[in-house]
Amino acid sequence: MLAEPLTPVQDTPRTGAPLLEMRGIRKSFSGVAALDGIDLVVHAGECVGLCGENGAGKSTMMKVLSAVYPYGTWEGQILWEGRELRANSIRDTEAAGIVIIHQELMLVPQLSVAENIFLGREPTRHGQIDFDAMNAQSQVLLRRLRMGHINPAEPVSHYGGGEQQLIEIARALAKNARLLILDEPSSSLSRSEIDTLLSLIRDLKESGVACVYISHKLDEVAAIADSVTVIRDGRFIGSAPMSGLSPREIIRMMVGREMTNLYPREPHEIGDVVFEARHVTAFSRHDRSRKRVDDVSFSVRRGEIVGIAGLVGAGRTELVSSVFGSYPGEHTAEIYIEGRKCAIRSPRDAVKAGICMVPEDRKAHGIVPGMAVGHNMTMATLPQFARHGVLDVDSEGRAIDHDIAAMRIRTASPALAISNLSGGNQQKAVISRMLMPKPRVLILDEPTRGVDVGAKYEIYRLIYELARDGVAIIMVSSELPEVLGISDRVLVIGEGRLRGDFTNDGLTQEQVLSAAIGADTSDAHPAQTAGQL
């Protein structure tokens, strides 16, 4: 799974004081320890990979460092260039040169790209915002990120998730960071965007900027990090130079045991066709003459796992959300369940017909942030736990407890607001919400985004269990190894069209990739496309 190691790892012994030293950091939330004595050392120009399972405490550690949790709300010591840092707010840490890019995007969608980049530090002339200077400087920054095609004057909401992530990074660069913290920056980026990001970090390292890189994609960590620090359940497990480690060893440190098999593929019975979508067409929301999905038809059998692969922006999400009745733009689709035509005009119709979908963007479409973990899980199936609209709190509670245990969701209590959970645990809660209606067809759009290896394995196992029970599964994923690792059949989407329908029997990444970019399978260029998805 490891991409070619892109930087030769320097193992030069460091001299002089480190740029940052965090010692024995402890932090607890209402009595439950989230961090229990973690150390972290970063030298100037060094990139440290911070690894750990969902809920291990990575984001919390970085929030301590960047004073999202101000000095005094945690214990331990932070030394910045050898002196103790007691920051009360993000302003203080940013003044020192510590800049954090949070796991969840923090852009103001209505403001322009440039306004977002310079939010709070707008260049002024005669007391007025100097928009020309702001746009020009933004343009320079964006070019550095090889994002010259983005217009700084346009609202951020006009750009997709990956582009927004890079805009967020441009914003961090504009702050003259000396230590850049990236909390899962790549989860919504395409392969080429990730490459841009990694080479940018490499440039920054050369100019002396240090960084802390958090990612569940260990191949990225391997490619960019000079050393790795692993935490588990809020405890410090170890720190080591990258050169001495393989992703396999990092995984072992993270989960505390050997993981022999990443994809628990099992033989299972595949029955008759249960689900059929014919002539799915979806138009762009902004430009109604542009088709995002162009006349795609496909079917799925009982117990079959169909992976949908394609490049980011190929129209996979548009395809499945049109099927589910949630695509916001104009779209048409004929849906048949067990041969019977179903009119699906809304997600509600779809759920009633036995089709459930776990959406791609957890924050925007998945969680209800202020609501309890439990209600987030039962939201789609509440009538099951009710008589005449009145909830049977006990049976609801039992179902919640059961699923929290079965999915191993790490939460202090089912009544805790879901926004307090780590990203991966939020994802598990959203998945379990869509399993509760016991769907006949389950659509999973990027189900393992931001999920750690252990939880990924559990999600895969769950998918297999569902398949064994006869559920038809459609899984959209940008991670090709995952698609190939668990699907029975792979559909390839390119520019809104169905470009390939392969039985996953010795299927290779190259075959899928050349179908995705529209090349004839017979003259694929494996060398050029390997690892590009």
Partner 1 sequence: MTSTTSSALRTAPQQVSTSRERMRSAIQAAGMLPVLVLLAVGFHLLGGYRFLSGQNLSIVAQQAAINIVLASGMTFVILTGGIDLSVGSILAASAMGGLIVSLMHGFGFLAIPACLFVGLLIGAINGVLIAGIRIPPFIATLGTLTAVRGIARLMGGDRTVFNADLPYAWIGNDGIAITSTLVIPWLAVIALLVVVASWFVLRRTVLGVHIYAVGGNPSAARLSGVRVGAVLMFVYCLSGLLAGLGGVMSSARLYAANGLQLGQSYELDAIAAVILGGTSFVGGIGSIWGTLVGGLMIAVLTNGLVLVGVSDIWQFIVKGLVIIIAVALDRFRQPAART
Ligand X SMILES: Nc1ncnc2c1ncn2[C@@H]1O[C@H](COP(=O)(O)OP(=O)(O)OP(=O)(O)O)[C@@H](O)[C@H]1O
Residues lying near partner 1 in the complex (CB under 8 A):
26, 28, 30-33, 36, 63, 68, 70, 72-75, 90, 102, 324, 326, 346-348, 350-352, 357, 359, 364-371, 375, 378-380, 382-383, 386, 389-391, 393, 412-413, 433-434, 437
Q: Are 25 and 62 in contact (CB under 8 A)?
A: no
Give the interface size with ligand X as a residue count (CB under 6 A).
18
Q: Which of 215, 258, 287 lies closest to 59 in space, CA to CA? A: 215
Sheet holding 47-51, edge to edge: 98-101, 179-183, 210-214, 47-51, 227-232, 235-241
* 516/278 Cα distance (integer angstroms): 21
Q: Residue 461 to residues 31, 157, 278, 296, 433: CA-CA distances in angstroms?
A: 33, 36, 30, 29, 17
The pattern of x and - marking residues 462 through 491 that bind ligand X according to CB under 6 A reads ------------------------------
Which residue among 421, 480, 516, 524 contacts ligand X (CB under 6 A)?
421
Binds ligand X (CB under 6 A): choice among 420, 508, 521, 532 = 420
Binding track over 378-417 against Mg ion, x by CB under 5 A: ----------------------------------------
Measured CA to CA, the distance from residue 27 to residue 30 in angstroms comes to 10
Closest approach of Cβ 139 to partner 1, in Å? 30
Judged by beta carbon, residue 204 or residue 455, the one nearer ligand X is 455
Half-sphere exposure of 56 (CA within 13 A, CB side): 28
Contact partner, 33, from partner 1, Mg ion, ligand X, none, Cβ < 5-8 Å per class = partner 1
Site for ligand X in 183-242 (CB under 6 A): none
Say how far apart CA 427 and CA 216 lie, in whole Å. 14
Residue 424, interface with ligand X (CB under 6 A)? yes
Angstrom distances, CA of residue 237 to CA of 52, 218, 392: 9, 17, 44
95-121 burial code (b ≥16 CB/10 A, e <16) = ebbbbbbbbebebeeeebbbbbbbeee
Binding mask 78-107 for ligand X (x = CB under 6 A): -------------------------x----
Q: Which of residues 58-77 bind Mg ion (CB under 5 A)?
A: 59
Residue 29, interface with ligand X (CB under 6 A)? yes
Q: How far is the CB of 398 from ligand X (least distance, A)?
A: 22
Residue-level length of the chain: 533
Give the shortest CB-348-to-partner 1 separation in angstroms: 4
* For ligand X, the closer CB: 20 or 409: 409
**Minimum distance from residue 56 beta carbon to ligand X (Å):** 4
Smaller CB separation from ligand X, 189 or 517? 189
Q: Distance (Å, rounded) from C-alpha 199 to C-alpha 95?
A: 26
CB 429 to partner 1: min, Å: 11
Task: Write the CB contacts of 125 (distance below 8 Å, at least 6 apart in sequence).
Answer: 133
CA distance 32 to 57: 12
- What is the rounded distance in angstroms from the CA atom of residue 506 to the CA atom of residue 283? 35
Give residues in contact with ligand X (CB under 6 A): 29, 34, 52, 54-60, 103, 410, 420-424, 452
Positions touching Mg ion (CB under 5 A) are: 59, 103, 423
